[in-house]
Structure formats: structure tokens, C-alpha cells
């Protein structure tokens, strides 16, 4: 039913790394099952004593010790060792019943320890997998993340690991317990009469084939359900995060219809999986009834022929019944494990995607930018795109220069800046930092000397201090204060009741657009970068905030290279050179006045897009 190299076992093997917990889980499961086996075997003497068909308990014990030579190592004199055992039948029954009670208590303790260890083992293993999955995801190249979508990645990390834990719990806590107890009862049945037990074994292959076919249906349906859960997460996130736009567009009904379609698809997938799970239980029960009828017919024939006693038949059938009672829940538990194979496969797909920079750990650090940045023969195309996003790009930027990138939406401005940060790598050509290909150096050493301020900066729920120092934990208070001062953010931070320790909500809730952008600039400046990339950093703020941000950039740019993707004429006119882009290519480069005179596209942008945004 399961292949050792499938995704579920790939993750399940991680449980063996916690040896103490793993060994305790196995040992106490066996101990708990052993108590059951001894209890079943002890029922034989109890029946013989009650029915009066055998000797007294003392005699039974002595005969057993004498019949098994290996006990001589422990007991040299069976008569002396068994002298304390009562010869009265009722006392013997009472002694055996007391022993069974003691076994039940010890079995209960062993079962408790097994359950505690197994649940802990499952939880800590899944916690590690979840942690490693998130760590892997945040180190993935940007391309696969954009292709899959953030909602899919988040769903796999949170929802799929929860489903995986369900399978681990079924395996270590329930399957192991039921299997060991079932095998123990099965061993007791063999002890009583091996012929009936052999007949019961014949049915096992039939059950295996049926459960395998049902398991495939469950696995397919579960995977489809997880994909539909991703769709629900995506649709609901889009609606709630964009609620302002939905309300102003009176699109509540449209949003509801999209969610309802996703919800119906999820329901269909879940019902399909549950149908398969529900179908497996009655099938197994029907087969079990046929097995019991068959065993009864075989036993009846043996008893009538004088080859089996009725007491042995009852004991053997009872042990098989206990074995069946413990093995019967395995159908549902194996279905739980089958359901966990789909999320395990989806998690494995994340781990199978190579992270960025893994092969570059041994590469030398790139020295701090001091001479030039060159885009040499760049061509780039996004995955699954039909045309190039950038082509034939030749551009050299001197150290300390302020370059403005302008052009229509979709012309490749942001893509060009992304190549400098190595969010993507070009298909052809090279990006050179001081005449060194940035792919020849360690990625972290490149990104640590580039400060990026985007149109929509990332803000996490936490303090202003935590948000400004995001990714720069090694900066001291002096460096933090200097960055806030350069970003003209210290004045408004000082007015807050808790200053830098003031809490802000997810996405910067509670701050104005200008305040968020000034904090974003402070975050970029706190690293003391050699290169500052401004991606439409002032496109959605008021004139006063723009003036403060412009002054912050002017104060900081000395001795540093600034690349601004600009939608405001005021930003463009401060640049040393303006690069005009169209359809993934560089159309012209020059000053504001020169481009107005010779470049029709720039003249149109300055008259419409740039001028209207000023």
C-alpha cells in the first residue's frame, strides 16, 4: 500500500532523528500489547479451573515450568517455586483475576506513556518540518514564488503540515498501538490453535488489494481538496485585503460569487474523499463477517471429528476476535495516512525547488561599490511569458550618479532594478558591479550594500524599531537614530507616546503614507548602502511628504549611487541623467531639457504622466 520512497515516508523518517522519543514510543507500545497477549493466554487456565476440565493452578504452573527447559535458568526447582500457588480452584481463579487486574494497570500505564511519547514525537517533528518549509520558502527565488502565488505557499506551510501531523499521529499513536495489540492477540490465537489462524491469514491479501484501490481514490481527492483550499485562501485574501476597492466599486456581490464558486469546488472535493473513506469501512466489515462464518465452519468440522476441543475453539475464536477488534480500526487509520500522502507530496515539491544562493556560499564577497554599475547586453524574459521583458540593454552608471528610469507602465523599469538586486538573473548578458559580474560573488554581500525603497514597502506587526531594523539586527542605536534623522522620520516618531517602541499594525496600519515611506527610507539607509534604489517611492504621497523625502535623498546621496524609478517630474529633474525606456529597451538617455528637445516619448511622458503626478 505504501512505497518506502514516497513523500509521506520521506517526512515520516524524520521522526527517527529523535531517538529517545522514537524508542520510547516503540517500547511502550510493545509493552502495552504484551500485557494484552498475556491476559488472553491466562484466560485458558481460568476457564479450565472454572469448568473443572483441568488440574489445579499449582499443578498447571509446575507442568508448564517442567515442559519448558529454558525456564531452568531462572527456576531450578519448579516444586519449591510454585509452593505458594493455591491448590483450591476458586483461590486459583482469584489469583489469576488479580494478576489480570495488575496486567491491566501496567498495560494502562504503558499505553499512557506510549500515547504521550507518540503525540509529542508527531508534534515536534511537524513543527520542525513547518519551520524548515518556511525557511526554505523565504529563500526561494522570486520567480517560483510569483508563479505559485503567496497564498499557495502559505497554504502548504500551514495547512499541509497540519494534515501531515494528522498522518503522523495516526501512524505513531494509533496504527502502532492497534497493530501491536492485534499482533499480540493474533499470537495468542496461534498459541491456542494455529489452524484457525492460518485460515484467517488467507484473507489479508484480499483486504490489501481493496484498501490500495480505495487509498488511491482518497489520495487524489485529498490533493484536489488542498488545491481548492488554496483557491479559497487566495480569493478571501484578495477580497479582505482589497476591501476598500471592493466597497468603492460596489463589487461585494462579485466577490461573494467568486468565494461561493471556490467553496463549492472545495465541498465537492472533500465529499469525494469522504465517500471513499466511508466506503472502506463497510467493505472491511462484510469481509470480516464472511471470515468469521468460514472459521466457525472449519472449527465445527474439527470439533465433530474430535480433533479440537470446544474450549480451545472458544479461546482461539476469542483471541482472533480481539485481534480483529484491534486491527479493524486500521482501515480508517490507513485512510488517514493515505490522506497525508497528498500534503506530503505538496510539501516535498517546495523542498525540491532549489533555493537561491545555495551554490554561492563559497563565493567571495563582492567589495563595496566604488566605481560603476554596468548592464551589459541584458535580455530577460519572465517564466511562461510570450515576449522579453528586457532586451539589448546597454547602460553604465558611474559611482555617485543619480539615474532616473522613466517610461510607460510595463516597459521594464522595475525588472531592470530587480536584476541589480539579483531578484532575477538575466537570460543573456551580465550585470557588472565595478566590472565584476554580480553572479561571481556572494549574493548576501551584494544585497547588503543595496537599499531599496518600494512604492508599497513591507511592514510587519510590531514596533517602529523592529520595522526599521528589519534584517539589520547588528545596527546600534546610534546608527538607527542617524537613519531616522536622514529620512526626516525622527520628528514624527518623537511625537508618539512610546517613540521607537510604538506598535504599528500589519501593513503599517496607523501611519500615513508619508510616514510609512519615511520609515521605509530609514530602513534602507540604516544599512549605510552604497546603492539606493527608489521604485516609485513618492508616487502615492502628498506634496509635503514628497518634499521631505526628496530632501532625505539629497542629504544621503553624496558618495552613493541612486537609481530612481520615477513617476514625478520633480524627482526626474533632480537626476544627473534620465533613462527613457519603452517596450523593454532603452530608447534614449540624457538630461531633462535635452530629452524634451529630441525624444517624443519623453516629451509626452513629461506632459502627461510626469507632469500630472507633480
Q: State pLDDT tens for residues 118-147.
A: 888 988 898 899 888 888 888 888 888 877
Q: Do domains 7-352 and 372-613 have the same CATH topology?
A: no
Other CB atoms closer than 10 Å to residue 561's CB: what's the count?
Answer: 24
> What are the two backbone dihedrals, phi and then psi, of residue 580, each rounded to the nearest 5 degrees?
-95, 125
Question: What does the DSSP assignment read for 315-350?
Answer: HHHHHHHHHHHHHTTHHHHHHHHHHHHHHHHHHHHH
- CATH among 3.90.420.10, 3.40.50.300, 2.120.10.10, 3.60.21.10 for 372-613: 3.40.50.300
Query: How confident is the model at residue 202, as a pLDDT?
Result: 62
Query: How confident is the model at residue 367, as a pLDDT?
Result: 92
**DSSP symbol at 559:** T
Task: List the grid coordinates of 567.
Answer: 513617476
Instruction: Give residue 388's pLDDT band: very low, low, confident or very high (50, 70, 90).
Output: very high
Give the separation between CA 305 and CA 302, rounded to whole angstroms. Answer: 5
Q: Using the predicted structure, report yes or no on whether residue 613 has a pLDDT greater than 50.
A: no
More confident residue, 193 or 496: 496
Question: Over the stretch 298-319, which tens digit does the pLDDT of each residue have?
Answer: 666 766 676 766 666 666 666 6
Q: Is 211 exposed, middle or buried (0-12, 13-18, 19+ CB in 10 A)?
A: buried
More confident residue, 27 or 305: 27
Question: Over the stretch 585-602, which tens digit does the pLDDT of each residue have?
Answer: 999 999 999 999 999 999
Q: Using the predicted structure, report yes or no on whether residue 116 has a pLDDT greater than 70.
A: yes
Q: Using the predicted structure, report yes or no on whether residue 508 has a pLDDT greater than 60.
A: yes
Q: Using the predicted structure, report yes or no on whether residue 190 has a pLDDT greater than 80.
A: no
Question: Over the stretch 312-366, which tens digit does the pLDDT of each residue have?
Answer: 666 666 666 666 665 555 665 666 777 788 888 888 888 888 887 666 667 888 9
Mean pLDDT calculated for residue range 400-429: 91
Task: List the grid coordinates of 101.
Answer: 487486574
Query: How confident is the model at residue 46, as a pLDDT?
Result: 56
Give the separation between CA 326 and CA 307, rounded to whole angstroms. Answer: 29
More confident residue, 542 or 574: 574
Mean pLDDT score of the chain: 77
Query: How confident is the model at residue 541, as a pLDDT?
Result: 58
Instruction: Give residue 369's pLDDT band: very low, low, confident or very high (50, 70, 90).
Output: very high
Span of 6-15, 254-263, 584-593 with lowest mean pLDDT? 254-263
Instruction: Give residue 578's pLDDT band: very low, low, confident or very high (50, 70, 90).
Output: very high
Q: Indicate if the alpha-carbon torsion angle 497, 501, 506, 508 is positive or negative.
A: positive
Instruction: Give residue 426's pLDDT band: very low, low, confident or very high (50, 70, 90).
Output: very high
Structural domain boundaries in the chain: 7-352, 372-613
Query: How confident is the model at residue 356, as a pLDDT?
Result: 78
CA 213: distance to chain centroid? Answer: 28
In this prediction, what percent of the chain has a pLDDT beyond 70? 66
Q: Using the predicted structure, report yes or no on whether residue 437 has a pLDDT greater than 90.
A: yes
Element (H, E) at 444: helix 443-447
Q: In what order do the strands lie in the sheet with 561-565?
A: 450-453, 531-535, 561-565, 402-406, 577-582, 585-590
Q: Using the predicted structure, report yes or no on whether residue 430 has a pLDDT greater than 60.
A: yes
Q: Cβ(353)–Cβ(140) under 8 Å? A: yes
Mean pLDDT calculated for residue range 525-543: 78
Q: Using the predicted structure, report yes or no on whether residue 462 has a pLDDT greater than 60.
A: yes
Query: How confident is the model at residue 136, as a pLDDT?
Result: 86
Of residues 112, 113, 101, 91, the one with CA closest to residue 38: 101
Query: How confident is the model at residue 411, as a pLDDT?
Result: 92
Q: Which residues contact 569 (CB under 8 A, 6 or more apart)?
A: 606, 610, 611, 613, 614
Question: Over the stretch 218-233, which tens digit does the pLDDT of each residue have?
Answer: 767 777 777 777 777 7
**DSSP symbol at 422:** T
Mean pLDDT calculated for residue range 408-430: 91
Question: Over the stretch 266-296, which tens digit does the pLDDT of each residue have?
Answer: 788 777 767 766 666 666 666 666 666 666 6
Query: How confident is the model at residue 32, as a pLDDT?
Result: 76
More confident residue, 265 or 303: 265
Query: How confident is the model at residue 67, as a pLDDT?
Result: 58
Mean pLDDT calculated for residue range 381-386: 86
Query: How confident is the model at residue 254, as a pLDDT?
Result: 76
Query: How confident is the model at residue 614, as a pLDDT?
Result: 42
Other CB atoms closer than 10 Å to residue 12's CB: what's the count?
Answer: 22
Query: How confident is the model at residue 109, as a pLDDT?
Result: 84
Q: Using the predicted structure, report yes or no on whether residue 531 has a pLDDT greater than 90.
A: yes
Domain 7-352 has CATH 3.40.50.720: no
Amino acid at each position: 500500500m505504501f512505497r518506502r520512497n514516497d513523500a509521506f515516508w520521506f517526512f515520516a523518517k524524520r521522526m527517527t532523528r529523535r531517538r529517545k522519543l522514537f524508542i520510547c514510543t516503540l517500547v511502550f507500545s510493545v509493552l502495552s500489547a504484551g500485557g494484552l497477549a498475556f491476559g488472553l493466554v491466562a484466560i485458558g487456565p481460568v476457564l479450565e479451573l472454572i469448568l473443572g476440565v483441568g488440574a489445579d493452578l499449582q499443578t498447571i504452573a509446575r507442568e508448564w515450568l517442567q515442559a519448558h527447559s529454558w525456564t531452568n535458568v531462572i527456576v531450578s526447582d519448579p516444586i519449591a517455586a510454585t509452593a505458594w500457588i493455591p491448590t483450591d480452584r476458586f483461590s486459583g481463579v482469584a489469583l489469576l483475576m488479580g494478576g489480570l487486574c495488575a496486567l491491566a494497570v501496567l498495560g494502562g500505564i504503558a499505553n499512557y506513556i506510549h500515547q504521550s511519547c507518540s503525540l509529542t514525537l508527531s508534534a515536534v517533528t511537524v513543527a520542525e518540518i513547518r519551520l524548515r518549509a518556511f525557511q526554505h520558502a523565504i529563500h526561494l527565488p522570486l520567480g517560483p514564488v510569483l508563479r505559485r502565488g503567496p497564498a499557495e505557499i502559505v497554504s502548504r506551510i500551514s495547512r499541509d503540515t497540519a494534515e501531515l501531523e494528522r498522518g503522523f499521529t495516526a501512524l505513531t499513536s494509533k496504527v502502532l498501538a492497534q497493530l501491536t495489540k492485534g499482533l499480540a492477540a493474533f499470537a495468542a490465537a496461534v498459541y491456542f490453535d494455529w489452524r484457525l489462524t492460518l485460515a484467517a491469514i488467507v484473507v489479508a491479501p484480499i483486504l490489501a488489494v481493496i484498501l490500495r484501490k480505495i487509498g488511491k481514490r482518497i489520495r487524489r481527492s485529498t490533493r484536489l481538496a488542498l488545491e481548492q483550499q488554496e483557491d479559497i485562501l487566495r480569493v478571501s485574501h484578495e477580497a479582505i485585503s482589497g476591501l476598500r476597492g471592493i466597497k468603492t466599486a460596489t463589487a461585494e456581490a462579485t466577490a461573494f460569487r467568486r468565494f461561493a464558486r471556490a467553496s463549492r469546488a472545495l465541498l465537492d472535493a472533500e465529499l469525494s474523499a469522504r465517500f471513499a473513506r466511508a466506503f472502506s469501512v463497510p467493505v472491511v466489515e462484510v469481509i470480516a463477517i464472511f471470515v468469521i462464518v468460514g472459521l466457525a465452519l472449519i472449527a465445527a468440522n474439527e470439533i465433530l471429528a474430535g480433533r479440537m476441543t470446544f474450549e480451545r475453539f472458544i479461546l482461539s475464536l476469542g483471541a482472533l476476535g480481539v485481534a480483529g477488534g484491534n486491527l479493524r480500526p486500521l482501515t480508517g487509520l490507513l485512510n488517514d495516512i493515505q490522506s497525508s500522502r497528498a500534503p506530503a507530496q505538496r510539501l516535498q515539491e517546495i523542498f525540491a525547488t532549489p533555493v537561491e544562493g545555495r551554490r554561492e556560499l563559497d563565493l567571495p564577497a563582492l567589495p563595496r561599490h566604488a566605481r560603476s554599475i554596468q548592464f551589459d547586453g541584458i535580455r530577460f524574459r519572465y517564466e511562461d511569458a510570450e515576449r522579453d521583458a528586457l532586451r539589448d540593454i546597454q547602460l553604465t552608471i558611474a559611482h555617485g550618479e543619480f539615474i532616473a528610469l522613466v517610461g510607460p507602465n510595463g516597459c521594464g523599469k522595475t525588472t531592470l532594478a530587480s536584476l541589480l538586486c539579483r531578484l532575477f538573473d538575466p537570460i543573456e548578458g551580465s550585470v557588472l558591479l565595478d566590472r565584476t559580474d554580480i553572479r561571481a560573488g556572494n549574493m548576501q554581500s551584494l544585497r547588503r550594500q543595496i537599499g531599496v525603497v518600494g512604492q508599497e514597502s513591507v511592514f510587519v506587526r510590531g514596533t517602529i524599531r523592529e520595522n526599521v531594523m528589519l534584517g539589520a539586527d547588528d545596527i546600534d542605536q546610534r546608527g538607527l537614530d542617524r537613519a531616522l534623522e536622514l529620512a526626516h522620520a525622527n520628528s514624527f516618531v518623537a511625537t508618539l507616546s512610546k517613540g521607537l517602541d510604538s506598535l504599528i499594525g500589519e501593513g503599517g496600519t496607523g501611519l500615513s503614507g508619508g510616514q510609512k515611506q519615511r520609515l521605509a527610507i530609514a530602513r534602507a539607509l540604516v544599512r549605510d548602502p552604497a546603492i539606493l534604489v527608489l521604485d516609485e517611492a513618492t508616487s502615492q504621497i502628498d506634496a509635503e511628504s514628497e518634499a521631505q523625502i526628496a530632501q532625505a535623498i539629497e542629504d544621503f546621496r553624496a558618495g552613493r549611487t541612486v537609481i530612481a524609478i520615477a513617476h514625478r517630474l520633480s524627482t526626474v529633474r533632480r537626476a544627473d541623467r534620465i533613462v527613457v525606456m519603452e517596450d523593454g529597451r532603452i530608447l534614449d538617455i540624457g538630461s531633462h531639457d535635452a530629452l524634451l528637445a529630441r525624444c517624443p516619448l519623453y516629451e509626452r511622458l513629461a506632459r502627461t504622466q510626469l507632469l500630472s503626478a507633480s
